[in-house]
Homo-oligomer: A and B are copies of this chain.
Amino acid sequence: MNMDKLTNQVSDWLKGSGPDADIIISTRLRLARNIRGFVFLSYALAKQRIEIESFVHEKLKKVPFHDKLIYIQMKDLSLIDRQFLVERHLISQDHAKASSYRAVAVERKETLSIMVNEEDHLRLQVILAGFQLADGWKEINKIDTQMEKYIPYAFSPQFGYLTACPTNVGTALRISVMLHLPALAIARQIDKVLNALSRIKFAVRGFYGEGTQALGDFYQISNQVTLGKSEQEIINEMQNVIPEIIKFERNWREKLLDDNNKKLKDSIMRAYGILRHAETITSEETMKHLSLIRLGINMNVIKDTTLKKINELFIYTQPAHLQKISKRELAPSLRDIARAKYIKAHLN
């Protein structure tokens, strides 16, 4: 079935290329959209949710890019499959947890996903490898325009796009850039960066959103304000801030290599050694070591593996991915063994 195709492929945005791929994993843009003539989901009854879902399902069969979409109803998915989609960054945790007539349409290369009946009727997401704000915007804007021809959006000339939660009203655009900042973490400069970002109204989360901060030294930076600015202004602000953080991280990488070359290389190589030999390992420990290895590749300390392979390992060693690969449910202690085995097979 459709899920199998996803299990066996690697998301396009994980390929480890794209601008500034040494630091930026991905650029993600999300538009919240609601359909004119339907009640917001916070007030919707089951009957109305069903109507919305089938309305969207029908319309998506007609959009120009319809033949590239895999349409999945959440009710058809096991808990592991749902978690798998979360780990793949294709749906939100909320979308995985709740039932009630939700769906997701995923474009075959996983660049585009459209959640149906999440917080809003529609959540469009485009995710690209590396730092690609302009291309990302071009892509999601095109998708949005094509969809608007088939689906009438709830739009107010005064407020812009209307959304279930007022914090999204206006452009309803959220840009999230995923940065890998191991040098700033090692140099204990990261709090300084995060505080500065929060002062200028950027939100910072971890690899899997809220509460996963610092896992693998990944930081997801997003705009918080969607109202009172045009899409281009939001993009411009992001375009101004991110390169500063990139520069700061790169400077610290150089500084660490200069000042404490041997100690840093030692930490990197030990992480590599542990991942290549451990017989059992948790997800948290894995991410910690992978982060150092990723840094090692970018600093040319590790030469016999690739960014692509390490980016993939971050995702494929997550619990649901491991269980999908093993084709069965695994208790946490067995997952730790399967994880160690998987990593060894892919690093040796």
A17: shortest Cβ distance to chain B, in Å? 27
**Structural contact, A278 and B274, CB atoms closer than 8 A:** no
* A263 interfacial by beta-carbon distance below 8 Å: yes
* A279 interfacial by beta-carbon distance below 8 Å: yes
- A277 CA to B273 CA, complexed, in Å: 5
* A276 interfacial by beta-carbon distance below 8 Å: yes
* A237 interfacial by beta-carbon distance below 8 Å: no
B residues in contact with A262, CB < 8 Å: 279-280, 337
13 CB-based A-B contacts, threshold 8 Å: A262-B279, A262-B280, A263-B280, A266-B278, A266-B281, A269-B277, A269-B279, A270-B274, A270-B278, A270-B279, A273-B275, A274-B274, A276-B277
**Structural contact, A273 and B280, CB atoms closer than 8 A:** no
B residues in contact with A265, CB < 8 Å: 279
- A279 CA to B263 CA, complexed, in Å: 8
B residues in contact with A274, CB < 8 Å: 270, 273-274
The 8 A CB mask of A240-283 against B (1 = contact, 0 = none) is: 00000000000000000000001101100110111111111100
B residues in contact with A275, CB < 8 Å: 273
Closest 6 CB pairs of A and B: A273-B277, A273-B273, A266-B279, A269-B277, A265-B279, A266-B280
B residues in contact with A276, CB < 8 Å: 273, 277
Among A262, A279, A280, A340, chain B packs the most CB atoms within 10 A around the CB of A279
B residues in contact with A340, CB < 8 Å: 266
- A265 CA to B269 CA, complexed, in Å: 21
A258: shortest Cβ distance to chain B, in Å? 16
B residues in contact with A273, CB < 8 Å: 270, 273-278
A282: shortest Cβ distance to chain B, in Å? 11
B residues in contact with A278, CB < 8 Å: 266, 269-270, 273
B residues in contact with A270, CB < 8 Å: 273-274, 277-279
- A270 CA to B336 CA, complexed, in Å: 14
The 8 A CB mask of A266-303 against B (1 = contact, 0 = none) is: 10011011111111110000000000000000000000
A260: shortest Cβ distance to chain B, in Å? 11
- A270 CA to B278 CA, complexed, in Å: 5
List 5 extra interface pairs beyond A266-B281, A273-B273, CB under 8 A.
A262-B279, A270-B273, A270-B278, A272-B277, A273-B276
| Chain B residue with Cβ nearest A344 | B269
A67: shortest Cβ distance to chain B, in Å? 47
Give the residues from 298 to 347 in chain A that come closer than 8 angstroms, CB to CB, to chain B. Answer: 337, 340
Give the residues from 137 to 153 in chain A that come closer than 8 angstroms, CB to CB, to chain B. Answer: none
